[in-house]
Amino acid sequence: MKRSIASVCLSGDLRQKLEAAAYAGFDGIEIFENDLMLFDESPAVVRRMSEDLGLRIIALQPFRDFECMPSDKMQKNFDRAERKFDLMEELHTDTLLICSNVSPQCIDSLDRAVEEFSELAERAQKRHYKLGYEALAWGRNIKDYEDAWQLVNRVDHKNLGIILDSFHIYARSKNLSVIRDIPGDRIALVQVADAPWLDMDVLQWSRHFRCFPGQGDLPMVDFMTEVTNTGYEGYFSHEIFNDEFRSSPCRPTAIDGMRSMLWLEEEVARAVPDLSSKTPKALDYLPPEPSVKSVEFIEFAAEGQSREELLDLLTKLGFTNTHRHRSKDVSLFRQGDVSIVVNEEPDSFAQNYYLMHGVSVCAVAYLADDAEGMAERSEHFGYRKFEGDIEHGEMNIPGAKGVGGELVYFVQRDADGSRFFDVDFVAVQPSDAAVSLSPKSDPSLLVDHITSGVSESEFLSTSLFYKVLFGLSIDQPQDLIDPYGIVVSRTATNRNKTIRLPFNMSRSWGASTERFREVQKGSGVQHIAFACDDILTFAEGIDLNIVLPVPDNYYDDLIARFDFDDGFVEQLRAYNILYDKSETGYFLHFYTRTVNGMFFEVVQRQKYSNYGEVNAQVRMAAQARMRRAL
């Protein structure tokens, strides 16, 4: 697949955009005319810059409001087109992108449009150029790709083709069946853009909320599959209008764009049988498929007093120090099937992470069917590989840099079922005093979900990370009400819900996510939830001083909203347990106090698949209240 990106996707001046696109590995670039207009070098210099970077300028865009204007304006439009052809000659590009007319003066006459595009195609042929016609979803008369194809097909000129843009097609809620009737050689260009489903004016939706495939909600693989089946052999090009992309460094954005392209290629290759018969540009390599199944362990970087605060909280939740690493200053705390690693090893990644963030989650390890395959997959998508120092006989755990810079490990169990701690750790016998002071361990405990707090600029990148590397499904964003702003949340999950990874961001400096990022000096894991079978019994056995207090007013409201007996509500009140109900079941949960901005949650699910979102505002208000009291 030939990969391109439009310059409008990236921030900076045209030189920076070209350099970023080349660095990310794109083959071509569409030059957005505004970028050229604002640049202080000639089109010939832009062409040489592109050539030096190994980029082909695949199109100049956009040429607006051409067809069906009043007669006295059409000659001016043809003159404008000739000037664009002159510009294309300087740029050494052969395709002009023409948008459907949005002018209120546009006359509704398909016959006139056919006549005018026939003449323009003849002029383009004399100059050895091609025209691509695209239906804008808010076009005056032509706003559907079916209508655009009807026009292009009636003109029937080899120098005029249709441009298929995924956003404009889906914005009109159109099915893809007409694409099957379009020969691949009549498609001038394919532009790919994803977006969240939003109920709003389509122009505003397009101008501010497009994103890379894999970051939104549009069925991009279906679109790509239909286009591939036409035999189209041209460029696939990102065309993204996004406020966050415009304000973020261009190189990371371009790299995410390439990851998105690679993911689309993989998905199409797996979806289209015998892809090589559809196009000679078929993939010669497919990365190993995602194979992560569950969370194997969570690793904390900790030292000194902050370590003691963390261990005190874990111990009071019932975790026991069960193992020590064979060669490193690393301890393992376990309860049920949850493994918490506390790393104090000098001159290690964990220590460097601690020096930057304080006590924090520096790594999360995922159980995978093919750990080396997951590492290979991460390299394929451009995520940095990590290899730690290991001693002879220790397990080699491949990894990559993840959200917020923490590590993501991939662990594969041996054929005999042995775990990572059976290889790298030595069991320790807890003291009698420690056993007598610890709550009773809950054998049912599992990792339920791990929530990260990220910046606004990282929000879409995090979606892409979980989508392309882990193969997780990404829920639509939802707003959580914080006393000091709005927190926007999405969740990445696998099919059987053994991996649940919410991630939150906020534009409000005082909201809980941004307060966490301020304390931690960056993004990372903010909140870890453990699932148990009986939360009331669990709560009975712990020190309630570690539990986040909930106002009495909350429980009075529960009584008003639900048909509870008084004894049950009083149990919830006594242990600061919150409640939510869905159509299929219910959810009980409580939160702990924070350590360096992080906190734990204990949950009990009963045929309930959400996260108690209605109670998030209770938690945020309580945390803000405790912070003010410090």
Q: Is 191 annotated as a binding residue?
A: yes
Query: Residue 11 CB: number of other CB atoms within 10 A?
Result: 16
Show the 3-state SS of 62-97: EECCCCCCCHHHHHHHHHHHHHHHHHHHHHCCCEEE
Q: Is 168 annotated as a binding residue?
A: no
Give the residue ranges of DSSP H helices in 407-551. 420-424, 432-437, 456-464, 470, 512-520, 535-540
DSSP secondary-structure letter at 522? S
Token pair 């193992």: residue? 323
Nearest of 144, 60, 76, 64 to residue 110 by alpha carbon: 144
Region at 72 (left for phi over 0; alpha for psi -120 to 50; beta for the rest): alpha
Report the C-alpha dihedral over residues 86, 92, 97, 101, rounded to 10 degrees: -10
Task: With beta carbons less than 8 A apart as the criterion, state whether 137 and 168 touch.
Answer: yes
In a 13 Å sphere around the CA of 100, the CA atoms on its Cβ side amount to: 29
Omega prior to 549 cis, within 30 of 0:
no
Tokens at 504, concatenated: 């939150």
Token pair 């003066």: residue? 105
Alpha-carbon distance values, 141 to 63, 354, 446, 584 (Å): 17, 60, 57, 47
Q: Is 134 annotated as a binding residue?
A: yes
Query: Residue 515 CB: number of other CB atoms within 10 A?
Result: 23
CA 474 to chain centroid, in Å, comes to 8
Task: With beta carbons less than 8 A apart as the criterion, state whether 228 and 275 touch.
Answer: yes
Task: With beta carbons less than 8 A apart as the criterion, state whether 353 and 360 touch.
Answer: yes
DSSP secondary-structure letter at 466? I
Angstrom distance (rounded) from CA 585 to CA 579: 11
DSSP secondary-structure letter at 482? E
Q: Is 165 annotated as a binding residue?
A: yes
Q: Is 406 annotated as a binding residue?
A: no
Tokens at 328, concatenated: 């490193």
**Residues 211-246: b if buried by 16+ CB within 10 A, e if exposed:** bbbbbbbbebbbbbbbbbbbebebbbbbbbbbebbb
Residues with Cβ within 8 Å of residue 623, at least 6 apart in sequence: 512, 548, 594, 599
Binding-site annotation: residue ranges: 134, 165, 191, 239, 449, 527, 601
Binding-site annotation: residue ranges for a divalent metal cation: 134, 165, 191, 239
Binding-site annotation: residue ranges for Mg(2+): 449, 527, 601
